[in-house]
Structure 1
Amino acid sequence: MTTERRGGVLLATCISTLVVNANTSAVAILLPAISSDTGMDVETLQWAVTGYSLVGAAVIITSGSLGDVFGRRRVFQGGLLLFVASCVLIALSDTGEVVIAGRMIQGASGATILACGLSLLTIAFEGKAQVRAVSYWGAAAAVGAAAGPLVGGVLVDLTGWQGLFWIDAGIAVGCMVLTVATVAESRDPDRPRSVDYAGSLLVALTLGPVILALSKGSDWGWASVATIGCLLVAVAAGVAFVAVERRVSVPLLDLGLLRNRVLVGATIAILIGAGTINALMYVLSLYFQDPDALDFSPLEAGLATLPATVGLVVSAPLVPRLAARFGGRQVVGLGFLVTTVGFAWIGLADASWRYGAFFLPLIAAAVGMGLSNGPSSAASTAAVPASQVGEASGVSNMARYVGAAVATALAATLYSSVTSGQVADGAARADALADGLGTTAWVMAAISAVGVVMAVLMGRHRQPAGTLADSAAAAASVSHTLPTSATPAPSATP
């Protein structure tokens, strides 16, 4: 492959990754504006966030399998086309239901772009050039995740909330053209052609009812037939998923991986970290913009959340050296402890708090998440033989989507139910909102504290050497697991 074509592959995959991650992190800032235009309440619009993650969890591993079987460039292009279509659908929509549907489609397209884009990149480059290319991809993912809320806030003020989706659609079309011009087709000829579609469907059928129960449980009653019915459907789907994975030739999840203590601990830590930080940022985006709270504009809200996202990304590259010196699980445990303190601090919020009171706990939560997230991701690929690195990476990537979906649904329910309950009891709405935020933050603090336990259960594993590539992988771990210097090389024997 010529240098120009390799450069085109790098550009197309990095730009698409940046756009997908920016789009993902921006949407929570847009929800009040979307609610105002469509007439759908924000509590229901949380499905635009949780639905995205739900579908992403079901698709992230399957999309990689589809690329191996049918061609990585073809599936990557399909993901980009689906992303463009979803952006146009959302931008043209005048109802909340269409926005939610479009975001669910975006969950499938985003997961496909990330999974197949990284595969295309690793095929196009070799050796040290591959390490550099993957590092650039990781940096693009991190920058997109950090910049999303600010970009969303700017565009709401300048173009309306639809502007984000029109611009993203245009950039994705450009990536499609660049892919046609520079990316060669590739597939895995040795891989069986069967794809575990049933496994993907059952993941969605397991998560969907759980999220629905969390979203509606306070309205239906937590012991109601509807809530319990949702949970029973989820359990049945989970049992069916295990049965299917034992039978298919190429399972979505190799159940044997669940015997790996380090991988299980790292995966749960990733799930907790992704879930709690996404949930907190979702609730804070609403609280900052509420007229009875801080009454920020979307731009001001984007700026207000920027210290957290930047703190997460900036602190992450420093983590591999800390892990190499003190040990990965020690850094993970410290990270979750710091995050727990940050969440608990926000749990003390009351109606008199201005933005300055949120600044330090936001930084604490973000830095703590940076400390825990990178080593957890590194552990997930370091703890398995070279032949299982791809599967372990897929499991940890699915965990991010699962955590984000479930924790955000839980946070949305807590925030809404506590606020409405306080108002019904005669409290001023400003006080009720602060109580809703505080309760949500305390629950996220409790969940984050479980991460300290996961750090202990993870056990010992190989540590990254602290290279520049390791720093890029740590920064990218907010959205995707990348190999590190601790990951077994392909030539290694299981």
Structure 2
Amino acid sequence: MKMGYKGTDRMIAGIVFGVITFWLFAQAIVNVGPAVQADLGIPLDTRNIAVSLTALFSGLFIVSAGGLADKTGRKKIAYLGFVLSIIGSSCLVLSQGAVLLIAGRIIQGLSAACIMPSTIALMNAYFEGKARQRALSFWSIGSRGGGGIASFAGGAIASSFGWRGIFVFSIIFAALGMILLWATPESKRDSDEPFHFDFAGLSIFIVTMVALNIFINFGAAFGWTSGRTLGLLATILIGFAAFVKVERNKHNALLDFKLFRSKPYAGAAASNFLLNAVAGTLIVANTYAQVGRGFTAFQSGMLSLGYLVAVLAMIRVGEKILQRVGARKPMQWGASITTAGIAMMGLTFLPDLTYT
């Protein structure tokens, strides 16, 4: 480790605050979606687009932000993420309509793209062995536990201070994260190799994912057999094929498909995809609980308490299991449990008490 004990603890706390502020704006808006829609007087489709934009822009730029962090400095990109988080959350606090709401969500997505890879890279840079496993456990508490924390806290904050209060807290958490990371030395990749950014791959990826987002959100409104919907579908299929072709022939590819030839890597990617899918199902479940079942924001937040308790309890337990049996079995168990949980959330025909 490159820092003393107190320094590492401050760094870990700052990183956890940074990851949680991502979840405060990414996940908590789910609990207050109906209130945001009613307060701003926006259509349902616009609200759904605003909710999804953060994840979309985070996914679009997270790989490139990670590469930039390795080249220019991980702390520097983490700080950029904190600043973008504050700007994006401020847009939501001040919003009076769709414009600032959508702008804020886009900026918050860019913030997440900066914060997530740079903070985990800082953990890897300054810790090794069991100390790294401990540090990554705390990162996971902020990341995975943050979903449950934000869902519950978002409902509680909204009930007391209104939905804008969530993003005031997000600003506070981002500011605290910046203060705690202040003394952390800069970290970057030790390499003289020039950094070449894959603009072609990123451009194709952006067009494809934006088309997919529009297709999912507006396909039914356009009509599934309409020219616009079929055009979007063609764009998605052609974009995906072009992306695979371009990336396979590039040395500095945005996504190196050769990595997926490794079964452990492919399995880890699939497990992580399932874990992130939980966030998507929580969005649907929270919206359904409020719109379909008449729950308040606080009540729907309470539904995530079981998820929160399980995540916080099992992260450190999982760390010990990992040390004892290795990574493969815990990933298999986790993927199976996640699949069963998502399947059970789809049983919406059950009565209120049984479903919840």
Distance change in 2, residues 1:125/1:260 (3 Å): closer
1:115 to 102, 113, 117: 117
Partner of 1:38: 40
CA RMSD of aligned residues (A): 2.7
Superposed, 1:87-486 pairs within 5 Å as 87-180=89-182, 182-190=183-191, 191-275=193-277, 277-290=278-291, 293-314=292-313, 321=321, 324=325, 327=329, 331=333, 334-335=336-337, 338-339=340-341, 341-344=343-346, 346-349=347-350, 353-354=351-352, 356-359=353-356
Deviation of the 1:169 alpha carbon: 1.0
Residues 395-425 of structure 1: per-residue CA shift (max 9 Å, x gap): xxxxxxxxxxxxxxxxxxxxxxxxxxxxxxx
Q: CA deviation at 1:228?
A: 1.1
The worse-fitting range, judged by mean Cα deviation, of 247-256 and 103-112 is 247-256
Shift of 1:124: 2.6
Higher relative contact order, structure no. (Cα contacts within 8 Å, ≥ 6 residues apart): 2
Aligned residues with identical type, % of pairs: 25
Whole-Å Cα distance in 1 between the matches of residues 332 and 130 of structure 2?
Answer: 30
Contact 1:146 1:313 in 2 (8 A): no
Which amino acid in structure 2 is aligned with residue 50 of structure 1? S
Deviation of 1:230 after TM superposition, in Å, equals: 1.0
Q: Deviations over 1:109-149 (max 9, x none)?
A: 11211110121222233444333222222223233221111
1:347 to partner: Cα distance: 3.7
Q: Is this contact kept in 1: 2:147–2:279, CA < 8 A?
A: no
Across the two proteins, how many residue pairs are aligned to each other?
350
Unaligned runs of 5+ in 1: 360-494
Q: Distance in 1 between matches of 2:88 and 2:11?
A: 24
Distance 2:263 2:51 in 1: 31
* Contact in 1 for aligned 2:17/2:177 (Cα 8 Å): yes
Per-residue deviation at 1:37?
Answer: 0.8
**Are the equivalent residues in 2 in contact too, given 1:156–1:299 (CA < 8 A)?**
yes
Q: Structure 1 residue 165: deviation in Å?
A: 0.8
Question: What letter corresponds to residue 284 of structure 2 in structure 1?
Answer: V
Displacement of 1:88 after TM fit? 0.5
Per-residue CA distance 1:232-267 (angstroms, 9 max, x = gap): 222232233224323443222112123334533553
Cα deviation per residue 1:327-385 (whole Å; 9 max; x = unaligned)?
467635743663365145x2423xxx33x1213xxxxxxxxxxxxxxxxxxxxxxxxxx
More deviation, 225-234/326-335 = 326-335
Contact 2:56–2:209 (CA<8 Å) still a contact in 1?
Answer: yes
Q: 2:342, 2:47 → 1: CA distance?
A: 28
Unaligned runs of 5+ in 2: none
Contact 2:28 2:151 in 1 (8 A): yes
- Aligned to 2:50, what secondary structure does the other structure show? helix
**Contact preservation (8 Å) 1:83, 1:109:** yes
Give the superposition deviation at 1:38: 0.7
Determine whether 1:59 maps to 2:56.
Answer: no
For the residues of structure 2 that align with 1:124 and 1:328, how far apart are their CA atoms? Answer: 25
| Superposed displacement of residue 41, structure 1 | 2.6
Taking the aligned partners of 1:154 and 1:286, their CA distance within structure 2 comes to 16
Give, in whole Å, the separation in 1 of the partners of 2:302 and 2:166: 16
Alignment-derived partner of residue 416 in structure 1: none
Q: Distance in 2 between matches of 1:333 and 1:129?
A: 26
2:54–2:105 Cα contact (<8 Å) kept: yes
Partner of 2:204, secondary structure, is helix
Find the aligned partners of 1:212 and 1:129 in 2 and give their Cα distance.
44
- Report the CA distance shift for 1:28/1:155 in structure 2 as closer, same or farther (over 3 A): same
Give CA deviations for 1:270-301 in whole Å, capped at 9, x if unaligned: 434533x33432232223223xx432221122
| 2:205–2:243 contact (8 Å) kept in structure 1 | yes
TM-superposed CA distance for 1:94, in Å, is 0.8
CA-CA distance at 1:209 after TM superposition: 0.6
Contact 1:29 1:152 in 2 (8 A): yes
Does the 8 Å CA contact 1:21/1:148 hold for their aligned counterparts? yes
Q: Distance in 2 between matches of 1:270 and 1:177?
A: 30
- Distance, in Å, in 1 between the alignment partners of 2:64 and 2:180 is 25
